Amino acid sequence: MDNQLIQNCRAIAQQWLDSPVYDEATKAEVKALLDAEDATALVDAFYQTLEFGTGGLRGIMGAGTNRMNRYIVGAATQGFANYILKAFPGRTDLSVVVGHDCRNHGREFAETVANIFSANGIKVYLFESLRPTPEISFAIRQLKAQAGVNVTASHNPKEYNGYKAYWDDGAQVLAPHDTGIIEEVNKVKVEDVKWTGNPDLIQIIGGEMDWDYLQAVKEAMVDQEVINRQKDLNIVYTPLHGTGRVIIPEALRSWGFQNIHVVTEQMVIDGNFPTVVSPNPENSEAMTLGMKLGTKLNADLVIASDPDADRLAIVCRNPKGEWEILNGNQTCMMFAWYIIANKKKLGQLKGNEFLVKTIVTTELIKKIADKNGVEMMDCYTGFKWIAALIRENEGVKKYIGGGEESFGFLPFDKVRDKDSPASICLICEIAAWAKDNGKTLYDLLMDIYLEYGFTLNHTVNVVRPGKTGADEIKQMMVDFRGPKAPKTLGGSKVICTKDYQALTATDGEGNVMKLDMPATSNVLQWFTEDGTKVSVRPSGTEPKIKFYIEAPAEMGCPKCYPSATEDAMAKVKAVCKDLGI
């Protein structure tokens, strides 16, 4: 490890020890890092200051500039407050919404945020207790606030916490606000933070907003009659110890579902997530207790939300009666199909509707939209980009749904972030529709594959923690743009390369076209002759680089699904070998 880097980190850590601002517990933790023989932990804690990425601020809790603690939260909030005051000069009615999820230190951080905003003369609507991320987004719009903060690390492991920053449209901050906030945050010294709150400017909110939000969620419903006929659909739900525990069962009941069961052990609010290895619904292990209860109760489907209740996971039965976990691409595809098909059948489509998916999400959604004459837009990973397209088209085109492969969907426009309460209600409506037609969700998925073609979506996460890992990930992207750029993948010729950093698309003959995107992004994509698609991007919130591989295969009948999956997986493995991952 670079000796100069270690010395720089030691110097910053010593400043923390010498400053009167930091509390004794923090200083003790810093001293332990300084006294350790191995400097790795010290460097990881101090080599950089956490910055806003695609999901805001997120990191491991602990002492240090690269850690989530009240001082980093405080400096970020002071910088955010300074930016809000600059962005709305002369306004005396500025307000923000502040919430948190079930994470350890969540309430402490949220109250710290509220105190600092109020100390800067900004009114704060502080939720009385933990609330879903989408409800924070909704509340910003409902209360006409200028900004908002939700203290959450979403689906990350228990060691993490985070800070999602929102703007006045209820979406996470985009340019120029994201860089503007970072500039202000970087100017702030801990000594500058106004820690002492003004109680007169802090208003506690809760039940009334829950009611308004639940009423809005019902706008995502497509067909009430289907639910009325299948109100006894047997549903098992788990919040994975998080914020969905109250509001999601309430939402389901408000839609008309009457047979809802919960995983009792996971209804307990606990930031240590004792019943799962990681509270990420993308991990099949997190669904184990739900499936166990589903088996006991002979449930039709099992559903989970992540700790801040923006993502969802769905488990349904295959023809053998076994539980089958749907991936994010499959759920997104099913939402798109159902919304289009049934809105069309009920005469709810006027011709100006559009769907949105992220560039790494399955291309089958575009096939569904194209065949049915509905516009489909592509955007970057992260729901702030979906929200940006909703905002740009407001009043001209009607948003009817958007999602991404990482288990997030938004089926209505009253919220500007992914929304598991609304999506869970809608997937239960879809299951009710399927049951009404003598099918399961699994059967419906097979029908979609048979009509639009089968592809397998597989994500490979290459984790490289710390400073050395960050350098390695950076070099991988450089290599893929240069000497390691693939000519073939899985035995099929690359016929198009999209580089979203250069905003260019290059075909197999070397012809270059410009990509029309709102900003640059460090993402590469390769498309091959046989329909394989590979996307690679470093994560904006975690120490890893992600490879999204979509591989096609022939599927002639529902019973061919396992063999088609096997054939596509062989292609995925060949692609991984070609990429050296």
| Per-residue H/E/C for 261-310 | EECHHHHCCCCCCCCCCCCCCCCHHHHHHHHHHHHHHCCCEEEEECCCCC
Q: Is the pLDDT of residue 328 over 70?
A: yes
Q: What are phi and psi of 458, to 5 degrees?
A: -135, 130
Give the residue-averaged pLDDT of 139-152: 98
Q: Which of 95, 118, 137, 154 is catalytic?
A: 154
320 near 340, Cβ under 8 Å? no
| Cα torsion 222, 228, 230, 231: sign | positive
Q: How many beta carbons lie within 10 A of that of residue 468, not counting itself?
A: 14
Q: Is the pLDDT of residue 54 over 90?
A: no
What proportion of the chain, given as a percentage, has pLDDT over 70? 99
Give the residue-averaged pLDDT of 126-148: 98
Q: Is the pLDDT of residue 139 over 70?
A: yes
Please choose, from the candidates 141, 149, 144, 150, the residue with its C-alpha nearest in 3D space to the C-alpha of residue 170.
141
154 noted as active-site residue:
yes
Label residue 459 by pLDDT band (50, 70, 90).
Answer: very high
**How crowded is the C-beta side of 413, counted as CA atoms within 13 Å?**
19
Distance between CA atoms of residues 406 and 259, nearest Å: 28
Q: Is the pLDDT of residue 211 over 80?
A: yes
Peptide bond into 176 cis (omega under 30): yes
Q: How many helices (H) and strands (E) does the chain have?
A: 18, 23
Q: The domain at 454-579 falls in which architecture?
A: 2-Layer Sandwich (3.30)
pLDDT tens-digit series, residues 276-307: 999 999 899 999 999 999 999 999 999 999 99
Distance between CA atoms of residues 233 and 236, nearest Å: 10
The predicted pLDDT at position 543 comes to 81
Please choose, from the candidates 2, 436, 452, the residue with its C-alpha nearest in 3D space to the C-alpha of residue 225.
436
Interhelix angle 441-452/561-579, rounded to 10 degrees, is: 70
**Type of residue found at 403:** G
Range in 51-55, 205-209, 231-235, 505-509 with the lowest mean pLDDT: 51-55
pLDDT tens-digit series, residues 233-276: 999 999 999 999 999 999 999 999 999 999 999 999 999 999 99
Distances (CA, A) of 471 to 134, 163, 468, 474, 543: 34, 25, 5, 5, 11
**48-210: CATH, from 3.40.50.10420, 3.30.160.110, 3.40.190.10, 3.40.120.10:** 3.40.120.10
Q: Is the pLDDT of residue 537 over 60?
A: yes
Please choose, from the candidates 240, 312, 310, 328, the residue with its C-alpha nearest in 3D space to the C-alpha of residue 279.
240
Give the residue-averaged pLDDT of 100-117: 98
Topology of the domain covering 232-452: Alpha-D-Glucose-1,6-Bisphosphate; Chain A, domain 3 (3.40.120)
- Which DSSP state fits 177? H
Label residue 52 by pLDDT band (50, 70, 90).
Answer: low
Give the residue-averaged pLDDT of 545-549: 96
Q: What share of the chain is helix, strand, coil (3-state, %, to 5)?
A: 45, 20, 35
Average pLDDT, the chain: 95
Please choose, from the candidates 69, 61, 63, the residue with its C-alpha nearest in 3D space to the C-alpha of residue 34.
63
| Cα torsion 100, 101, 102, 105: sign | negative
Distance between CA atoms of residues 489 and 268, nearest Å: 46
**Residue whose tokens read 């308004």:** 212
Give the residue-averaged pLDDT of 438-444: 97
Range in 54-58, 206-210, 511-515 with the lowest mean pLDDT: 54-58
Please choose, from the candidates 167, 133, 393, the residue with its C-alpha nearest in 3D space to the C-alpha of residue 247.
133
Beta-bridge partners for 127: 205
Distance between CA atoms of residues 84 and 97, nearest Å: 13
Give the residue-averaged pLDDT of 210-231: 98
Which residue intervals of the chain bear CATH 3.40.120.10? 48-210, 232-452
DSSP per-residue string spanning 562-577: HHHHHHHHHHHHHHHH
Distances (CA, A) of 516 to 265, 357, 389, 471, 555: 48, 15, 13, 29, 34
Distance between CA atoms of residues 421 and 86, nearest Å: 35
How many residues are given for the chain? 581
Give the residue-averaged pLDDT of 476-504: 96
The predicted pLDDT at position 327 comes to 94
Which residue intervals of the chain bear CATH 3.30.310? 454-579
Q: What are phi and psi of 417, to 5 degrees?
A: -150, 165
**How crowded is the C-beta side of 346, counted as CA atoms within 13 Å?**
13
Give the residue-averaged pLDDT of 192-217: 98
